[in-house]
Amino acid sequence: MKLRLTVVAVALAAAGCATNFSYIDGNRYFRTDFNAHSVIVLDIDGKSEIRNPVMVEPGVRVVRVQGPAAPGFRFGQDRTITIDVKPCTHYYLKAVTRNSISAEFTAMIDFEEPIAGCMAAGGGTGVSAAGANR
């Protein structure tokens, strides 16, 4: 009986390691662009998030972010970005403003990289090699 429970526990643990997941991160990846800023991930698919990075399942996700606050304001504006999340991928988001005093921004993906040790259902990381060498 104990052997059966051990075998079941090992099988469940191995199945848990094989799950596909991705991260959405509000921190920008490249820090050289003067008008690019990190964002705050407010919610994903309508579910509020407080963690950063946020672990998500692959698929199309609607992400609401808050951009940088303009001078004289406490909070930045909100924007929504739709991301087709690939398995085993870490997405870094950024807000791009026209200048340093503008409250208007465009939310976009700054960089995406494969998650080390994560294997997608097809055996690969799900991230193309061309996108990782920017």
- Position 61 in a domain: yes
User: Of 116, 53, 114, which Cα lies nearest the Cα of 89?
Assistant: 114
| 34 pLDDT tier (thresholds 50, 70, 90) | confident
Q: What is the pTM of this model?
A: 0.75
Write the pLDDT tens digit of every residue in 51-108.
889 999 999 999 999 999 888 889 989 999 999 999 999 999 999 999 888 889 999 9
- Position 1 in a domain: no
CA distance 119 to 15: 12
Q: Is the pLDDT of residue 15 over 80?
A: no
| Domain span including residue 25 | 20-118
- Position 129 in a domain: no
CA dihedral 33, 78, 47, 56 (to 10 degrees): -20
Q: Is the pLDDT of residue 125 over 60?
A: no
Average pLDDT over residues 111-118: 91
